[in-house]
């Protein structure tokens, strides 16, 4: 009797594809059309081999009912999600955020001196660090430890970097960003608590984001001066400056998990770009409801340019900016003094 | 005025659109004649969100006749365009109930209103509407005629008769003098997937406006002249036309895989073109346009030029087009050897891995050459490549490969370890002397028992084990590492025998879950039904239950059915699903392992019973298995699931019925479309009624598909 080779010659039948399709849609909102059957088979077959399963029907059962299903879900999601991104993606929208939204949020959040931004579906973290850099560049939110840096003649001199790239231990970075100029609106000594959260359903992506080390391909849209100011190069790639890193926090999260999302508290701005396009209508609606609940009154939601809330939700109001369009949670009748961490 | 109506009216007075939108929701609570009036007020609102909400609510209101009458009157409003458009949408949402009243009042409508009425008829899947639209192709107003032609393109959803009627009506206008009408006719014929002789479209191949439609239609008219036009159009200066031609040719190649004459026509015509192949190659490299890229790859396979193989091989690294790239490469056979070897050395990781996979199964390739490439893959920097190489060396490797791969069963990467386990097992079964030599080799850094179990298991599958081999396995069975115990159980199952079965049986009480699962699996292979039936009866772990039922099915199908049946109605959906899967496996086994006929019949009955389970997941699982059994009983049960409370069940039922070409299935789908409210399910039903019998989801036609000219009522008969 020949030893069976798990995964050998196993194909994904249309019925099995339907079962897996529905399971991925209901649990994590991922949508697969009939044209994805071959790709799904190719990517998941190795899991049958590792788990010693003989069919995709068994795999479906394992995902649904298995003792170690949660670990296997992480593996499957890592295999099924594509995570291509880079810094300063969709520049026009980011300019609107920096020049129009941040001043608006500064006014709104001034009484509590706390700014929270959430990048929902952050992939490998580029968007999170981008947003943190923009907050810094705005000069509006002086933080306790790091302080806003400005490009231009007023920028303090940075310590000279060595000509050659050397393998300097990470515990000895080139140096923090320098203290603020007098342009900070709130005056000396009154600091803001700035937090930029990044979440993704892929464990692998979150780990990469937390590492904060990037290859050249992540900088295709990054101005050179920004790269030189906020990153430093080492043998293994470009590292994010510590002053930026320390305001960024990462976690693994399923956007459809309403309970889990509450750990974030409320945000003043949420970026959920090019994520919802992968969801079916039901999942999209559920995700939007989570995002609405996680916004402070007056907070804004940025979606990808090909996305909109049409036919999904009318709870948001549209905010027309000079360069873009965003959705805003209406300001509460009680005004912006409502405690943003109030989960109600 | 009722309280509910007062509340709605008050909300409608508010300046905030959201308040007015909320008011629309409340209209459903309003009784009496006020509801239609309030609906119209919503549809006439300035804010699009309020109007949109109104269209969604319209179908839910009672007093439907009054609602329809009000909406029809609104369609005649000459001032408020928003209201008219919203009324159209609302009537479509109401569906067939609107069609009768619409047709009755048609005569009094002016041209603008008739045009809107035509949009309603086009949005509702109804045979009466199709018949009316066919007549409206002769309307006195040109806009109405064009809109009717566009609307007829949706007639497939109303069933085969409607589709045929629409095609006949459209064909009669194919030579119309009005170019806009001709455009609408051609476009609709395409959407209806009508197979029409090329002579209908040929006059328009050089028409600047209609050329695109003619080229798209050529794929459905596989005649030499049509193929020639397609091939020529691949070199068209217009990128849109060229793309259309490439996609059409790709569809032709995909659909005609069993028709060598058609394919040969296509190949000859393409070969005669100078510009076309270059355009096709560009499309095959365009990663932004997956549809065109996949088609281009298929066409390059048909063209059969050796210089294109590297391009095809590179596409193996892209999941979106890999399948088509593989089909194209298969056409080259051993001619693809050198490009695959090159890509396996030099290309990006995913392509290297895919190339090794292809090489391992390439007919006619010298084994020594392939082995060399696979061995090269073992030292690749990419784990994907290493896994591919290891997997392939299982069936192709030699004794020396066993010595190389054996230590990798301890590899830090679980995929490599799993692949190495499989490969080592296969190699050991073929090279026993080498396996024994590996067993004797010292392994200071690793516990040797895991490898010993794998190799001894493989040896046991070909010859009896020695006494000292058995002692090794017994030692492994008592190991404190669960991984080792699992390996020992797998090995004992290969050898068989009472002693092995006794040893494995005790492992059913192991504290480690994975070991219990391995024991259950092993007992199945050893044919021990009694303990397996005991496991099913004593555990509530769904994975153990599922594994035990599957294993019991191998050992004793009748006992498996007896053990599974009581679980079909279990309140724990996990256990019920396990039972459905196990019974389904028994019922669908291939002939060599098929249980007795009475067992198969009992399995089928059980699956029907499982359709009554309250949990939708159990029902979905059963549906797929029931659908594979032809006959009126299965059809009736599938049809009843179109009314299931769970939208997921209804969707699956629609998809399964869509694969049934019978008139009964079409009728069931059509009837359910009229009453279905969930948009996802409606889309599934619409898609199911549009799927041509004989085509699967990849567009590859099965060989029993009806050929050109065989449909009743179509041109060419």
Q: Give B386→chain A minimum CA distance, Å.
A: 13
Structure-token pair, residue B19: 């308040």
Of A39, A52, A330, the CB nearest to B320: A39
Q: Which secondary-structure segment (H or E) carries A239?
A: strand A237-240
Lookup: tokens for B499: 């002693």
Rg value, chain A, Cα: 22
Where do runs of H (alpha helix) occur along B44-192?
48-58, 64-75, 81-94, 96-104, 111-123, 127-136, 142-152, 160-172, 179-191
Contact A65 B581 (CB under 8 A): no
**Lowest model confidence (mean pLDDT) among A317-321, B52-56, B341-345, B508-512:** A317-321
User: Pick from B53, B513, B655: which is nearest to A18 by CB?
Assistant: B655
- Measured N-to-C along each axis, helices B64-75 and B96-104 cross at an angle, to the nearest 10 degrees, of 60
The per-residue pLDDT of chain B, averaged, comes to 88
- Of B217, B210, B226, B219, which is closest to residue B177 (Cα–Cα)? B210
Predicted TM-score of the model (pTM): 0.75
Tokens of B515: 């070991």
Distance CA A174, CA B129 (A): 74
Whether A332 contacts A106, CB under 8 Å? no
Q: How many residues does chain A have?
A: 344
Please tell me the distance from the alpha carbon of residue A113 to that of residue A193, in angstroms, as a whole number: 6
Contact B418 A8 (CB under 8 A): no
Handedness of CA B473, B458, B372, B375 (dihedral sign): negative
Distance CA B377, CA B384 (A): 10
Between residues B33 and A294, which one has the greater pLDDT? A294
User: Which pLDDT value is given to residue A145?
Assistant: 52
> With 0-12 CB in 10 A as exposed, 13-18 as middle and 19+ as buried, what is B571?
exposed
Contact B219, B195 (CB under 8 A): no
Of chain B, the end-to-end C-alpha distance in Å amounts to 63
pLDDT confidence tier of residue B692, bands split at 50, 70 and 90 = very low
A260 touching B (Cβ < 8 Å): no
- What pLDDT, in 10s, does the model give residues B398-432? 999 999 999 999 999 999 999 999 999 999 999 99
Q: How is residue A251 written in tokens?
A: 């976690």
**Which one has a higher pLDDT value, B497 or A197?**
A197
| Distance set, CA B516 to CA B150, B545, B580 (Å) | 63, 11, 22
Nearest 5°: the CA angle B526, B532, B538 is 160
The Cα A67–Cα B535 span in angstroms is: 17
Subunit contact A64:B679, Cβ cutoff 8 A: no
Q: What residue of A is the nearest CA neighbor of B323?
A: A38
B353 in Cβ contact with B384 (< 8 Å): yes
Q: Going edge to edge, which strands form the sheet with A231-234?
A: A213-214, A237-240, A231-234
Residues of A in contact with B496 (CB under 8 A): 1
Does the CB of B173 have a partner CB in chain A at under 8 Å? no
pLDDT (average), residues B498-508: 85
CA–CA separation, B30 vs A277, rounded Å?
A: 37
The nearest alpha carbon in chain A to B48 belongs to A310
Residue A308: predicted pLDDT: 67
Identify the three-state secondary structure at position A173. Answer: coil
**Helix, strand or coil for residue B234?**
coil
Beta bridge partners of A200: A252
The residue-averaged pLDDT of B225-229 equals 89
Q: How far apart are CA B650 and CA B648, in angstroms?
A: 5
Cα A254 to Cα A29: distance, rounded to the nearest angstrom = 9
Are B21 and A66 an interchain contact pair (Cβ–Cβ within 8 Å)? no
pLDDT tier for residue B590 given thresholds of 50, 70 and 90: low
Identify the residue among B422, B489, B554, B678 best suited for mutation to test binding to A, counting A beta carbons within 10 A and taking the highest. B422
Q: What is the pLDDT along chain A (344 residues), one digit of tens a residue?
A: 344 456 567 889 988 999 999 999 888 888 888 888 988 999 999 999 999 888 999 999 999 988 889 889 999 998 888 777 899 998 889 999 999 999 999 999 999 999 999 999 999 999 999 999 999 999 999 876 544 443 223 334 444 443 332 233 334 344 333 333 334 444 445 789 999 999 999 988 999 999 999 999 899 999 999 999 999 999 999 999 999 999 999 999 999 888 888 878 899 999 999 888 888 878 888 899 999 999 999 999 999 876 766 556 667 887 888 877 788 998 864 344 444 444 33
Average pLDDT over residues B549-561: 90
Which residues touch B150 (CB under 8 Å, ≥6 apart)?
Answer: B122, B184, B187, B188
Q: What is the pLDDT of residue B349?
A: 93
CB contact under 8 A, A38 and B323: yes
Q: Exposed, middle or buried, A26 (CB in 10 Å: 0-12/13-18/19+)?
A: middle
Closest C-alpha to B521, from B553, B498, B557: B553
Instruction: Please tell me the distance from the alpha carbon of residue B470 to that of residue A278, in angstroms, as a whole number.
Output: 54
Predicted local distance difference test score (pLDDT) of residue B221: 81
Tokens of B294: 């996949």
CA distance B546 to B576: 9
- Does the beta-carbon distance from A22 to B620 stay under 8 Å? yes
């Amino acid at each position: 009797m020949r030893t069976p080779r798990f995964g050998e010659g196993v194909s994904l039948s249309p019925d099995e594809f339907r079962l897996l399709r529905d399971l991925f849609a209901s649990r994590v909102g991922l949508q697969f059309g009939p044209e994805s059957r071959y790709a799904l088979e190719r990517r998941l077959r190795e899991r049958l081999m590792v788990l010693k399963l003989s069919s995709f029907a068994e795999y479906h059962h394992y995902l649904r009912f298995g003792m170690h299903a949660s670990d296997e879900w992480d593996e499957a999601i890592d295999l099924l999600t594509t995570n291509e991104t880079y810094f300063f993606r969709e520049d026009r929208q980011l300019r609107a955020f920096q020049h129009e939204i941040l001043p608006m949020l500064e006014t709104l959040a001034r009484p509590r001196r706390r700014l929270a931004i959430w990048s929902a579906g952050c992939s490998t973290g580029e968007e999170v660090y981008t947003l943190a850099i923009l907050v810094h560049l705005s000069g509006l939110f002086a933080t306790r430890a790091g302080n806003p840096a400005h490009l231009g003649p007023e920028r303090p001199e940075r310590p000279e970097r060595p000509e050659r790239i050397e393998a300097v231990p990470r515990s000895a970075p080139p140096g923090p960003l320098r203290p603020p100029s007098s342009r900070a609106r709130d005056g000396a000594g009154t600091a803001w608590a700035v937090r930029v959260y990044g979440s993704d359903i892929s464990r692998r992506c979150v780990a990469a984001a937390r590492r904060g080390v990037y290859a050249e391909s992540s900088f295709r849209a990054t101005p050179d001066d920004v790269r030189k100011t906020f990153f430093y190069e080492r043998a293994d790639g470009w590292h994010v400056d510590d002053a930026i890193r320390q305001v960024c926090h990462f976690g693994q999260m399923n956007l459809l998990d309403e309970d889990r999302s509450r750990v974030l508290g409320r945000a003043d701005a949420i970026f959920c770009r090019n994520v919802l396009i992968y969801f079916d209508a039901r999942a999209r609606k559920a995700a939007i409801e989570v995002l609405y609940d996680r916004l402070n009154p007056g907070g804004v939601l940025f979606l990808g340019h090909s996305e909109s809330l049409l036919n999904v939700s009318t709870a948001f109001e549209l905010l027309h900016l000079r360069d873009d369009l965003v959705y805003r949670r209406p300001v509460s009748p009680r005004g912006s003094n409502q405690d943003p961490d109030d989960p109600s | 005025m009722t309280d509910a109506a007062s509340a709605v009216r008050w909300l409608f007075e508010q300046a905030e659109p959201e308040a007015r939108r909320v008011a629309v929701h409340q209209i459903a609570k309003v009784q009496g004649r006020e509801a239609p009036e309030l609906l119209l007020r919503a549809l006439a609102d300035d804010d699009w969100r309020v109007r949109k909400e109104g269209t969604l609510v319209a179908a839910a209101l009672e007093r439907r006749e009054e609602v329809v009458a009000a909406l029809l009157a609104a369609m005649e409003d000459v001032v408020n365009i928003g209201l008219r458009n919203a009324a159209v949408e609302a009537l479509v949402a109401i569906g067939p109930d609107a069609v009768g009243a619409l047709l009755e009042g048609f005569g009094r409508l002016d041209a603008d209103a008739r045009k809107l009425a035509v949009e309603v008829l086009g949005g509702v899947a109804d045979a009466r509407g199709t018949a009316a639209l066919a007549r409206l192709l002769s309307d006195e107003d040109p806009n109405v005629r064009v809109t009717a032609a566009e609307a007829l393109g949706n007639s497939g959803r109303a069933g085969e008769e409607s589709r045929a009627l629409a095609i006949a009506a459209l064909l009669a206008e194919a030579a119309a003098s009005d170019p806009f009408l001709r455009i609408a006719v051609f476009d609709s014929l395409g959407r209806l997937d009508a197979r029409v002789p090329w002579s209908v479209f040929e006059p328009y191949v050089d028409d600047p406006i209609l050329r695109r439609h003619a080229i798209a239609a050529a794929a459905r008219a596989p005649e030499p002249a049509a193929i020639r036009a397609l091939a020529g159009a691949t070199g068209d200066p217009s990128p849109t036309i060229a793309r259309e031609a490439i996609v059409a040719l790709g569809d032709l190649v995909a659909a005609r895989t069993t028709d060598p004459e058609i394919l040969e026509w296509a190949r000859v015509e393409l070969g005669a073109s100078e510009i076309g192949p270059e355009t096709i190659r560009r499309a095959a490299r365009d990663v932004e346009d997956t549809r065109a890229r996949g088609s281009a790859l298929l066409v390059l396979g048909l063209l059969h030029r050796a210089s294109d193989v590297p391009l095809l091989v590179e596409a193996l690294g892209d999941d979106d087009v890999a399948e088509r790239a593989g089909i194209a490469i298969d056409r080259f056979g051993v001619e693809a050897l050198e490009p695959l070897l090159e890509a396996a050395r030099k290309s990006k990781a995913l392509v290297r891995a895919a190339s090794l996979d292809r090489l391992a199964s390439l007919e006619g390739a010298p084994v020594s050459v392939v082995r060399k490439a696979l061995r090269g893959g073992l030292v690749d920097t990419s784990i994907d490549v290493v896994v591919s190489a290891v997997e392939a060396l299982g069936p192709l490797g030699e004794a020396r490969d066993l010595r190389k791969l054996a230590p990798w069963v301890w590899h830090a990467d679980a995929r490599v370890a799993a692949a190495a386990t499989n490969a080592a097992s296969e190699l050991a079964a073929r090279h026993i002397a080498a396996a024994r030599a590996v067993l004797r080799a010292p392994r200071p850094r690793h516990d040797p028992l895991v490898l010993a179990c794998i190799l001894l298991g493989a040896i046991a599958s070909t010859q009896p084990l020695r006494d000292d081999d058995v002692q090794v396995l017994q030692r492994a069975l008592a190991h404190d590492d669960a991984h080792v115990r699992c390996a020992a159980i797998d090995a004992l199952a290969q050898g068989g025998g009472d002693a092995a079965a006794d040893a494995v049986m005790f492992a059913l009480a192991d504290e480690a879950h994975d070991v219990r699962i391995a024991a259950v699996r092993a007992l199945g292979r050893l044919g021990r039904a009694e303990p397996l039936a005991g496991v099913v009866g004593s555990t509530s772990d769904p994975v153990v239950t599922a594994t035990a039922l599957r294993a019991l099915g191998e050992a004793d199908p009748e006992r498996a059915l007896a053990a599974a049946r009581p679980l079909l109605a279990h309140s724990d959906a996990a256990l019920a699903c396990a039972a459905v899967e196990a019974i389904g496996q028994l019922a669908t086994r291939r002939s060599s392992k098929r249980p007795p006929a009475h067992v198969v019949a009992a399995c089928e009955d059980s699956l029907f019973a499982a359709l009554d389970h309250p949990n939708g997941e159990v029902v979905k699982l059963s549906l797929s298995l029931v659908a594979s059994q032809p006959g009126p009983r299965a059809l009736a049960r599938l049809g009843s699931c179109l009314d299931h409370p769970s939208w997921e069940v209804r969707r699956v039922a629609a998809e399964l019925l869509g694969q049934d070409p019978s008139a009964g299935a079409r009728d069931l789908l059509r009837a359910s479309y009229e009453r279905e409210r969930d948009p996802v399910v409606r889309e599934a039903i619409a898609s199911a009624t549009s799927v041509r019998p004989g085509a699967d989801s990849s567009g590859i036609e099965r060989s029993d598909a009806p050929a050109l000219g065989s449909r009743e009522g179509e041109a060419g008969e």
